[in-house]
Structure 1
Amino acid sequence: MTPSFNSGTDLISENVWRPGTVWHYTTASGLAGLVGGNVLWASATAFMNDLREMHTGKTVFDRLLETHAGDVDANIQEEFNSMARTALRNDRYRTFIACASRLPDSLTMWRNYTSEVGFAVALDGTKPLLMRRQRRITEKMIAATGYQDERSKQLVRELAANGSAEFEWSPAVYKPEEQYRAAWAALRGIESTARARAEGREPDKHELEAMADAAQVLPTFKNTAFQDEAETRIVCGAGMHVDLMYLKHRPGRYGMTPYVELGIPENPAQKLGDQPEPMRALPITGVVIGPTPYPEEARIGVLELLRSHGHENVKVIESRIPFRS
């Protein structure tokens, strides 16, 4: 199903777009990278504009663990604590986030994430993205891990050969009551798994699944001060011994920012050579041009950029917000 565009359609309304559409706000150079490079950047969480990025979720989980410490059966207390702490161990320098909004025309987003003229790129949020492999793992890199035994070295090789996992968009959770509800459910899942293992029963979820549930919930919690952004995000990362396959750096507002590129590889199983892996076009379904005194020039420029990269059928529309940037 594609958006139904006709003369009577309010194209700026989120209701006419495919369910699951997300809007990535960016600058002109960011738009050129999305369209021409077929990748979306995901930056290390330590370098986001939310000073408490990742800390908000950690605080919620820590409070629940402290408040209900005495409610956990003593027979499973040690295993429960171990699983919970492992699940909540997030490295803010090795965890990467790509951000978008559920709103196609947001003054907050135009102000905060664009420059002279900004763009909101509509992406099909139902399609998962993978981290782009920038380089192949070499034996020199494997030796630098410090592993001496061949079994561990072989595990690193296998992790590298498998490439990136698929990562999906998840809406940010702003309301404290919703955050506590989601965190509580994740911890109860860990408790259930720990109890089943202690009683010799097959758990409903394997311990890795139960821990993954908590690990995936934590990064979706955002401070309520950011709720006007209506954010949805991809949170991704790689094992510490293969992260060099994906890692890039760029100068940023807070220093040299680590980031990874997200997209759809042409062949995820292809053996990587000396160049970054080729990527398919991103699932771009539309572009909104932000407030600008030069809407016609901006529109033609976007249409030409899209056309030159095979996106002839992408709809380009203009913001209706009368903001003088």
Structure 2
Amino acid sequence: MSRLYHYTSVSGLRGIVDSGNIRATHLGFLNDLSEGGAARKDEAWRAQLEAAEKRAPLFIASFCRHQEPHQLKNGLLSQWRGYAGEGGGYCVVFDEAVLDGLVEAERRISPGLTILKKDVLYAGEGEEEVPGQNMDFLDLAAFVKSEAFREENETRIVLAVPPDDSRAIRFRDASEMLIPYVEVFSGRRLLPITEVIVGPSPLQRRCAAGVVQFLRTHGLNVAVRLSEIPLAR
């Protein structure tokens, strides 16, 4: 079974499970400041990005692929530091094949929506050539990222959301900012969550006990494990 790993805070975990949905963040509010421009930096490219923003802004849901046994068991240290929040955070693990099926179903029931799921390509800083030179605008804007983030081994679900789509643009607060996002699916779904890894924290076991009860109230009897990474909080 191929799995995808999504790191989040306690509020992010609660949002996923309560809504039966996955949040996709606006392209301009992701952690890589070169997002959308990692591929090209000329004025014509910026004009294309601005036009796309008016026509159908891009929203991105991010996942990691893990292959090393230690990462499969405990998660990735940089992700715990970057996304988990002060309380230790959580990694929600998804069955990729089932998630792919949900994306395909969404494509069929939302014909005006562009929705893609692909692996990210990484471009070195200052490179004139980037991977996938024959890629189209959407691929270059949403699936090319700085080489500095290669460790994440990222896969993305990308939505280009036109004004007439039923999805409402919502906002969450983080670091004194309002972050725009949309929900990936047009309604509640039975998400293919296979397990939840509880991030490093002094109250890790208590956090895990709360998550077990929380998941059960939503009919999710999935494994909850503790990351053994010795990260001080």
Normalising TM by the smaller chain, what interval? 0.7 to 0.9
Q: 1:257 to 1:86 in 2, by over 3 A?
A: closer
Is residue 119 of structure 1 aligned with residue 101 of structure 2?
Answer: no
Return the alpha-carbon distance in structure 1 between the equivalents of residues 142 and 223 of structure 2: 32
Which residue number in structure 1 is paired with residue 69 of structure 2?
A: none
Q: Is the 8 A contact 2:90 2:198 kept in 1?
A: yes
Return the alpha-carbon distance in structure 2 between the equivalents of residues 168 and 282 of structure 1: 18
Which residue number in structure 2 is paired with residue 12 of structure 1?
A: none
Is residue 182 of structure 1 aligned with residue 91 of structure 2?
Answer: no
Return the alpha-carbon distance in structure 1 between the equivalents of residues 39 and 131 of structure 2: 12
Report the alpha carbon displacement of residue 22 of structure 1 after superposing the two structures with TM.
Answer: 1.0
Alignment of 1:109-258 (within 5 A): 109-115=79-85, 116-126=87-97, 127-128=99-100, 129=102, 162=110, 165=113, 167-176=115-124, 180-183=130-133, 185-186=134-135, 213-239=136-162, 241-243=163-165, 245-253=167-175, 255-258=177-180
Q: 1:311 to 1:302 in 2, by over 3 A?
A: same
Q: Which runs of 5+ in 1 are unaligned?
A: 1-17, 66-84, 134-160, 187-212, 266-276
Among 210, 223, 226, the alignment partner of 1:318 is: 226
Normalized per residue, the structure richer in helix is 1
Normalized per residue, the structure richer in strand is 2
Return the alpha-carbon distance in structure 1 between the equivalents of residues 155 and 51 of structure 2: 22
What TM-score comes out, normalization by structure 1 length?
0.58
Aligned partner letter, 1:290? G
Give the count of matched residue pairs. 214
Report the alpha carbon displacement of residue 107 of structure 1 after superposing the two structures with TM.
Answer: 0.4
Identity %: 31
Which residue number in structure 2 is paired with residue 108 of structure 1?
A: 78
Return the alpha-carbon distance in structure 1 between the equivalents of residues 209 and 81 of structure 2: 23
2:6 aligns to what SS in structure 1?
A: strand
Alignment of 1:80-95 (within 5 A): 90-91=52-53, 94-95=57-58
Q: Is the 8 A contact 1:88 1:214 kept in 2?
A: no
1:58 aligns to what SS in structure 2?
A: coil
What TM-score comes out, normalization by structure 2 length?
0.78
Report the alpha carbon displacement of residue 181 of structure 1 after superposing the two structures with TM.
Answer: 3.8
2:132 aligns to what SS in structure 1?
A: helix
Q: 1:86 to 1:28 in 2, by over 3 A?
A: closer
Q: Is the 8 A contact 2:88 2:200 kept in 1?
A: yes
Report the alpha carbon displacement of residue 324 of structure 1 after superposing the two structures with TM.
Answer: 0.9
Among 27, 30, 37, the alignment partner of 2:9 is: 27
Among 291, 294, 302, the alignment partner of 2:211 is: 302
Aligned partner letter, 1:231? E
Report the alpha carbon displacement of residue 117 of structure 1 after superposing the two structures with TM.
Answer: 1.9
Return the alpha-carbon distance in structure 1 between the equivalents of residues 12 and 62 of structure 2: 13
Q: Is the 8 A contact 2:112 2:165 kept in 1?
A: no
Which residue number in structure 1 is paired with residue 191 of structure 2?
A: 282
1:121 aligns to what SS in structure 2?
A: strand
Report the alpha carbon displacement of residue 173 of structure 1 after superposing the two structures with TM.
Answer: 1.3
Deviations 1:88-108 (A, max 9, x none): 954298211111211341000
